[in-house]
């Protein structure tokens, strides 16, 4: 009798669980951006959330949870209930932070296995930016000044080992120079610091400085791309200039591991509809960021390869306090 009762309870619970998955979502969804407003992840997440709200017929609310180069927000989602109601808009730094924790000899904030990729939206190379009134007219000027006075040129970032820090360390290494790193909580504050003269340079996603670039407030000296960026046709790549440094800030949607497959399937379908949505496409065009969508299988393969590459970069950089 007790066994029959237990079996009925389990069956009822399974039925309720399946029902909850089938009517997903039935209340608002949180989309966590692990950086302050104004950075690449935030700029992408907001039009994604707006489009997904219409597609899923429930509010998708952006929540900025900044700190530790994105680690705070990523850890939050990694530990969240895997029900599809807490999602993450991450950058490539998602792969860097656990490896950096290992290098620093501390407990990882999260493991990559705690998060499941759903879709990639963009994949822009970072750009090397200075103020428009900067004495550095090109990369050669910057390198020569840095060689003459190590640590005299400051650059901002979104935090240690973040997607603005790693490419600058890569550049420092191949150029044989040493510039002074000044970490902030995200790209938005770092760009404000550049404009205010608190730092002299930074590497960032194009969308973070596109408005300032178009208004003549910043100058772009080079990009970390394999080829020239369509928004900056006259700007050389570092590779062109003889510096073997390439890096891109991709944006991707993630859910906590263990999220039911029917929910993942609905999110994948929603992401496919987002990239075809005119409002989303227009938002990306305004910041001149090409959409480079990958569905889950292709994104997983891309992420595996990218994480392996970035792991090697972090190990090569070593301990940075």
| Segment 239-290, tens digit of pLDDT | 999 999 999 989 999 999 999 999 999 999 999 999 999 999 999 999 888 8
Architecture of domain 127-223: 3-Layer(aba) Sandwich (3.40)
pLDDT value at residue 14: 46
Please report which confidence band the pLDDT of residue 16 belongs to, taking 50, 70 and 90 as the band edges: very low
Please report which confidence band the pLDDT of residue 3 belongs to, taking 50, 70 and 90 as the band edges: very low
Fold of 28-123+250-317: D-Maltodextrin-Binding Protein; domain 2 (3.40.190)
* Whether 291 contacts 123, CB under 8 Å: no
pLDDT value at residue 12: 46
- CB neighbour list of residue 226: distance below 8 Å, 6 or more residues apart: 125, 237, 239, 246
Of the candidates 241, 240, 229, the residue with the CA atom closest to the CA atom of residue 127: 229
Same fold, 28-123+250-317 and 127-223: yes
pTM value is 0.83
Domain ranges of the chain: 28-123+250-317, 127-223
């Amino acid at each position: 009798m007790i066994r029959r009762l237990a079996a009925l309870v389990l069956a009822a619970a399974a039925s309720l669980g399946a029902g909850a998955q089938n009517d997903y979502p039935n209340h608002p969804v949180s989309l966590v951006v692990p950086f302050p407003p104004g950075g690449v992840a935030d700029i992408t997440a907001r039009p994604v959330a707006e489009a997904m709200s219409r597609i899923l017929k429930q509010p998708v609310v952006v929540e900025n949870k900044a700190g530790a180069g994105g680690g705070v927000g990523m850890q939050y989602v990694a530990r969240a209930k895997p029900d599809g109601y807490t999602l993450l808009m991450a950058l490539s730094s998602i792969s860097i932070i656990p490896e950096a924790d290992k290098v620093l000899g501390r407990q990882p904030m999260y493991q990559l296995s705690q998060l499941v990729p759903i879709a990639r939206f963009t994949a822009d190379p970072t750009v090397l930016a200075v103020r428009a009134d900067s004495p550095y007219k090109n990369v050669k000027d910057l390198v020569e000044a840095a060689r003459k006075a190590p640590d005299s040129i400051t650059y901002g970032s979104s935090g240690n080992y973040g997607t603005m820090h790693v490419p600058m360390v890569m550049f420092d290494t191949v150029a044989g120079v040493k510039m002074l790193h000044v970490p902030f909580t995200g790209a938005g504050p770092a760009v404000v610091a550049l404009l205010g003269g608190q730092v002299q340079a930074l590497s960032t996603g194009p969308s973070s400085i596109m408005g300032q670039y178009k208004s003549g407030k910043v100058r772009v000296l080079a990009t970390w791309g394999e080829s020239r960026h369509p928004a900056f046709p006259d700007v050389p790549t570092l590779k062109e200039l003889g510096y073997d440094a390439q890096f891109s800030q991709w944006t991707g949607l993630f859910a906590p591991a263990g999220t039911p497959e029917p929910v993942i399937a609905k999110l994948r379908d929603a992401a496919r509809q987002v990239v075809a949505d005119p409002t989303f496409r227009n938002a990306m065009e305004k910041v001149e960021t090409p959409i480079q969508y990958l569905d889950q299988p292709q994104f997983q393969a891309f992420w595996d390869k990218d994480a392996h590459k970035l792991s090697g970069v972090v190990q090569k950089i070593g301990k940075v306090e």
